A and B are shown apart, each in its own frame.
Chain A
Amino acid sequence: MAHRFLASTPLLRTSLSLTARARAAVPAQYANYVTASAVVMAGGKAKKAAPKIKAQSNSFRKKKGADDDKGESGSGGATRLNEKYYKPSVPVKVEEFLPSTATKEHVGQVLGFPSTVVPALAQTAYPTLLSEQFELIKPAALVVRDSTVSFLEKVDKAMKTPSAQSRIVLTGEAGSGKSALLLQTVSHCLSAGWIVIYVPKATTWMNSSFAYNKVANTTSFVQPLLASNLVGQIQNVNKSILDKITTSETATVGRHEVEKGTKLSALLEVGVKDQFAAQDVMELFMKEIGAQKDIPTLVAVDEVNSLFRPTQYLSQDGKELDPEHLKLSKLFLNYISGKSTFKHGAIVAATSDTLLANKSEVLEVTLGVKEVSPYKRLSQTILPWTQGLTSVEVPNYTREEAKGVFDYYKKANIFFDAASEPLFLNKFITSNGNPRKFFTACAKGI
């Protein structure tokens, strides 16, 4: 948003202080007494200190329009933006991003998430920096890129193959559109009727923000509340599809017995209600959806680099736990590394450069993104989990894609200069086509 602040108020005229004036008016021997004149002058000064009408510069007035004078000054509340000075963006009408519209003809067009998909995505929350963009410009929409089209073709091919053969990690520089591409994949698969397990922030699993308990006689730890939350999210995202699949045999989850033929949505309900059974529910659920061939499964994990470095949890000895010691993370790592597989499905993950502390050197070296000295010893406990991953690099915008996004930003009214070729070139070249930098250049003028 173009943040425009009010021009600075003119400085108040420096005047004699109250005491100076009092001293001038009153004889020396009465200098310490409170005189009537002092009281009157104090009252006068208070009136003078009342807020002056702030001068507004002309350029602001022109852009805001006629209703400026009518409107009251912005409502209180520290978090709400003052409507007088911050203009909200205009919602833009966009077509839906469907499997039929994610084609080469639509490259450069900004398409919104379909109405069937939006409630599902609302369950899991968007990635952090993308959500800021979506807050600004409603409805949430992403541009169709060349990389989107080619990647979705790849994912569609994976529909009929085991997930162990399609374990892809999206890599690229910071702000190049990895999380956005992952979101588009999730939307595509939801529209196509896959079972989708979307984890927008894997970092929250590892940063010691959820309670954890040791499992007796093992070196593993369970995160009951986290597992329960995840089970609830999966249930809400895939409600209708999960009614079609049933369990293949009787099983025990925690303190509950699950009979053969229970619908998977009912199984997940057990995990939602009893957080201490949630881990077992999750494991059984993944086994069941992996065993059936009718409906493919997509596991989409963002910020996957946090799964390949030591967590912030501590073992009872005070040492940092590895992700394989946390049962939920280990479950996902099994599928990501190919140790467990869905009969039909794909695993897509995206790295994140958001926090430098969360970077995983092991992952970057194995994917070939980074080179380190051969003498550097990589973690031997984490290295085996990174074998067999394919890396797909997400490039910066091409000119065509950037043009489409630029037109969209103009329609959404997040910048007020006239949309011209020189302006577009300015933004495109200064940001080098990097999507995040391009957005910042357009929205904040930097």
Chain B
Amino acid sequence: MLHLLGVNLPDQKLVQYALPLFYGIGQKTALKVLATLSIHKTCKIADLSEPQVNQLSTLLSDMKIESDLRKQIRANIMHHRSIGSYVGRRHAMGLPVRGQNTKNNAKTARRLNGRWLKAEKREYSSSTRSIIPSTDSPFESFFNRKWF
């Protein structure tokens, strides 16, 4: 088990398929990383040498992954929320943002779209929430509160 930048990489996994375990690295980026470091495609995590692991660690820390990436995404959505745009409102309501139909088929949006704002809310504890004035209009704070 190689522990790298907060993620556990199992030893028997191919490096090509272990790298996407990082948030922010998919299959294409994984291959690019392999190419940059001259690691062959059938290399397993256990086969990596110490200098290779260090190089990998350096390369990954230069990329925007994991918590840095999550912060960026959250910040982008919060920006929309704070300026009161349509996009922000849709994120807040957990509805499709990009103009999709909602008469039928908005299931994924309803399931996934609110989560960045909820995460943001969770960050501020309930004790501070009453102190910090809400940026929502009364109409929006009516909709945003969890009634049940």
| Residue positions of A touching B, CB distance < 8 A | 208-214, 221, 312-318
Contact = CB atoms under 8 A, between A and B. Distances in A.
Nearest to A320: B35
A209 B43 CA distance: 8
B42 A209 contact: yes
Contacts of B36: 316, 318
A314 B34 contact: yes
B42 A208 contact: yes
Nearest to A318: B35
B38 interface: yes
Contact of B35 (A209, A211, A316): A316
Nearest to B39: A211
B115 interface: no
A316 B38 contact: yes
Contacts of A315: 35
B41 A312 contact: yes
Nearest to A312: B41
B107 interface: no
A316 B34 CA distance: 8
Nearest to A208: B41
Contacts, number: 29
Interface in B1-39: 31-32, 34-36, 38-39
B40 interface: yes
Measured as residues with beta carbon below 8 angstroms from the partner, the interface class of chain B is: 10 to 19
Contacts of A213: 38
A219 to B, nearest CB: 12
Contacts of A212: 38, 40
A312 B41 CA distance: 8
B40 A313 contact: yes
Nearest to A211: B40
Given A211-B47, A314-B31, 7 more contacts: A208-B40, A209-B42, A211-B40, A211-B43, A212-B40, A316-B35, A318-B32
Contacts of A211: 39-40, 43, 47
Nearest to B49: A211
Interface string B34-68: 11101111110001000000000000000000000
Of the listed residues A213, A214, A312, A314, the one surrounded by the most CB atoms of chain B closer than 10 A to its CB is A314
A209 B38 contact: no
A47 B17 CA distance: 49
Contacts of A221: 38
A313 B43 CA distance: 12
8 contacts: A208-B40, A209-B42, A211-B39, A213-B38, A315-B35, A316-B35, A316-B36, A318-B36
Contacts of B41: 208, 312
Contacts of B47: 211
A221 B35 CA distance: 12
A213 B39 CA distance: 8
A385 B38 CA distance: 25
A209 B47 CA distance: 12
Contacts of A208: 40-42
A209 B40 CA distance: 7
A212 B41 CA distance: 10
Nearest to A213: B38
A295 B35 CA distance: 42
A129 to B, nearest CB: 22
Contact of B40 (A210, A317, A318): A210
Contacts of B32: 318
B43 A317 contact: no
A316 B55 CA distance: 14
Of the listed residues A221, A317, A318, the one surrounded by the most CB atoms of chain B closer than 10 A to its CB is A318
A78 to B, nearest CB: 20
A202 B36 CA distance: 25
Nearest to B32: A318
Contacts of B35: 314-318
B30 to A, nearest CB: 11
A345 B32 CA distance: 43
Nearest to A317: B35
A214 B37 CA distance: 9
Contacts of B43: 211
